[in-house]
Amino acid sequence: MSTKPEQSLQLWLPALAHFEPGHPLRELLARADRLTDAAAGYLGGLGDYFQGVDANLPAAAITREFLAGDAADATWLSADPAWVQPDMNGVRLLACGQLQLGMDEAQALAEPLKPVFDEAGLQLEISTPDRWHLKLPANTSLPSFAAPERALGEDLSQHLPQGTEGRRWRVLLNDVQVLLHQHPLNAQRRTLGLAPINSLWLWGGGSLPGHMTSHLRGVISDDLLLRALAKHAHVMQQTRAIDTVGAATSGWLIDLQDLPTSEIASRWWPTLRLLLSRQPAILHFASAERWQRKPWHRWRVWRGATR
């Protein structure tokens, strides 16, 4: 990055194309200075703030340590509740996590799966309703598993581990899908208009890494992996709220990339506008574009809104 994160407040935002022409952010961008692009996507964005983050990030161990503090001395694999749906071209991953699942429901869904995992030498842990983890013996060799962002909306066969090494996991996942498809809780969810939990998405395998580094002073986010990375790098982290966002200062990252742009305009913009009137900020979009905005830029009234 051409501007060091610690020199400015950092805003991580949804893809720029998601902001309508009339969004208040568009006028702000028109008066800001365009910077070189950063990395695109979720893991790419995380990699701009934490050194060593890439497609092989052991996200499972990092999030398990954050949630339960017991990730050391084992290999971990995320096994997050998912919704898949067959179509003419295969079976597509439509959602992973954030499926309006309560802890009691998660435990009920997991109950028939645990013997299957036990037989395979794996221990299933329900860390949160949306975040499930598999515990494996230390130093277990794992094939490559795709992060959810790479597979969403696409045919599962393109992203499952392949070859002889991946066969064990494909068979295991098929057994899990059969059990979940038959689970009575999914019939109840359908009557309520909710998506079924009919698969698990395996990803983020590995062991807890050593110390990670970041230029950030603090993180404001509701994203589990981002907060877990911050804690692992000994960076302060807070949940997202009007008061925490309003108090953010230089070197802090405000994570809004998971929100609808309409919510940013209606709920968060008054606080952000006041914040940006007082201090410089880097605006980093999930689609990679970056702008630097300084308080005095508001006097650039001759510039029109960015389309």
- Kindly write down the DSSP assignment for every residue of 28-94, as one continuous string: HHHTSEEE-----SHHHHHHHHSTT-STT--HHHHHHHHHHS--TTSEEEEEEEEEEEEETTEEEEE
Task: Specify whether 156 is located in the same domain as 265.
Answer: no
In a domain, 307, yes or no: no
Q: Which of 154, 184, 207 is the last residue of a domain?
A: 207
Judgement on whether residues 191 and 117 belong to the same structural domain of the protein: yes
> Do 103 and 201 reside in the same domain of the chain?
yes
> Do 84 and 182 reside in the same domain of the chain?
yes
**Are 135 and 121 in a shared domain?**
yes
Question: Which pLDDT score is estimated for 6?
Answer: 43
pLDDT at 90: 84
Asked if 64 and 195 sit in the same domain, the reply is yes
Whether 258 is covered by a domain: the verdict is yes
pLDDT at 142: 93
Is the residue at 171 inside a domain? yes
Choosing from 174, 207, 240, the residue where a domain stops is 207
If asked whether residues 126 and 264 sit together in one domain, one would say no
**Rounded Cα–Cα distance for residues 63 and 68 (Å):** 8
Tell whether 89 is covered by a domain.
Answer: yes
Amino acid (one-letter) located at 297: H
Is 253 in contact with 219 (CB distance < 8 Å)?
yes
Tokens of 20: 């309508």
**What pLDDT score was predicted for residue 275?**
94
The pLDDT value recorded for residue 302 is 57
Of 149, 176, 207, the last residue of a domain is: 207
Q: Is 124 left (phi over 0), alpha (psi -120 to 50) or beta?
A: beta
Task: Kindly state whether residues 94 and 118 are assigned to the same domain.
Answer: yes
Instruction: Give the integer Cα–Cα distance in Å for 298 and 16.
Output: 20
Residues 6+ apart with CB under 8 A from 156: 84, 90, 91, 92, 93
Looking at the structure, tell me whether residues 156 and 80 fall in a common domain.
yes
- Whether 92 is covered by a domain: the verdict is yes
Q: Looking at the structure, tell me whether residues 223 and 284 fall in a common domain.
A: yes
Q: Is residue 306 part of a domain?
A: no
Residue 158 sits in the same domain as residue 92: yes
Cα maximum dimension of the chain: 68
Range of the domain at 281: 5-52+212-299
Task: Write down the pLDDT at residue 301.
Answer: 63
Alpha helix positions (H), 120-162: 148-151
Question: How many distinct structural domains can be found in the chain?
Answer: 2
Q: Does 262 fall in a domain? A: yes
- Locate tokens 């969403």: which residue? 152
Q: Give the pLDDT score at 3.
A: 42
pTM for this prediction: 0.92
In a domain, 304, yes or no: no
Rounded Cα–Cα distance for residues 268 and 165 (Å): 47
Same-domain pairing of 79 and 193: yes
For the chain, list residues with pLDDT below 50: 1-6, 305, 307
How many C-alpha atoms does 195 have within 13 Å on its Cβ side? 17
